[in-house]
Amino acid sequence: MDFDVIVERATRAIKADESVFVEAGEDEPHTGSAAAIVAVIGLVSGLLNGTIGAGNFGTSFIGGIVGAFIGWFIGTGIFYLLAKMFGGEGDYMHLLRGNAYAAVPSALSGVPFLGLLAVLYSAWLYVLSVKGNMNLSTGSAAAVVAIPLVLVFILIIIFVVIIGVALLGLSAS
């Protein structure tokens, strides 16, 4: 694992250098470097959630790291399957390594307001990673990334409405 390569690629990713996602995707010997990026993202996110957010520090710390890895594998799997449905030609592991660098800004997800901007910026970087690693147009890659995000947003709204209705029902009793 080459620390200089990790820092250089993470910097290029933050600058939205499209080529870095394909470069990272094709660099099989550096799968460990991509995993290190995900671990650091989970660590920083967990620390921020434990100190700034409402979570318990220890739980947020461990949950941040575990959640980052689960999200990395499953999220990439969802993007991969959707990209294939859109005619994408690529490899899951290439996309997995590229997506590690696309997730870098999401390390700030635990910071109020800034976290939302960081997650939205990461979404754009995921578009670039999907585009390059799955050989898709920008529009198709944007659809691949947007579909799960919109579905999650809809599920959150449904959940909030259900909780709200339940709380109103309890207070009326």
Write the pLDDT tens digit of every residue in 26-64.
Answer: 999 989 999 999 999 988 887 877 665 555 555 666 777
C-alpha angle with apex 31: 86 to 15, nearest 5 degrees?
70
> pLDDT tens for residues 56-112?
555 666 777 888 999 999 999 999 999 999 999 999 999 999 999 999 999 998 788
Which tokens belong to 1?
Answer: 């694992």
Helix intervals (H) in 103-173: 114-134, 138-172
Query: Does the pLDDT at position 147 exceed 90?
Result: yes
Tell me the pTM: 0.88
pLDDT of residue 151 exceeding 70, the answer is yes
HEC-encoded secondary structure of 78-99: HHHHHHHHCCCCCCHHHHHHHH
